[in-house]
Amino acid sequence: MDERLRKRMLAFYFAGVFNLVLGVYVLIEGPALLGRDTALLLTLFFLGFAAVDFYFPRAMKKKWLEDHARRASGDKPPQVKGEG
């Protein structure tokens, strides 16, 4: 796998863990400091970003594997509309 892609995937995983920890922290400590509704909103925000941060690396790896398999089989890459 390409080293740049691997580093990008690791960065997404790190950000996902960080957002997950922040979300759990706000869930536990937030209501005492911010109020229940605000803490819930911030928790959902952090957990939503954590979900996205864990989804993107899998999508990038899947796309890389598909591109790699297509190149190995000799197929042309699909053209984007508007390209010659």
The model's confidence at residue 78, banded by pLDDT at 50, 70 and 90, is low
The model's confidence at residue 74, banded by pLDDT at 50, 70 and 90, is confident
Any idea where the domains of the chain sit in the sequence?
Answer: 3-71
> What does the pLDDT look like over 5-29, one tens digit per residue?
899 999 999 999 999 999 999 999 9
* pLDDT (0 to 100) of residue 18: 96
> What backbone torsions phi and psi does residue 49 show, to the nearest 5 degrees?
-65, -35
Closest CA to 43 of 61, 56, 55, 25: 25
Task: Look at the pTM and tell me if it is higher than 0.85.
Answer: no
Report the distance separating Cα 75 and Cα 52, nearest Å: 31
Q: 60: which residues sit within 8 A by CB, 6+ positions away?
A: 5, 8, 9
The identity of residue 52, as a single letter, is V
Across the chain, mean pLDDT equals 88
C-alpha dihedral sign at 4, 6, 9, 13: negative
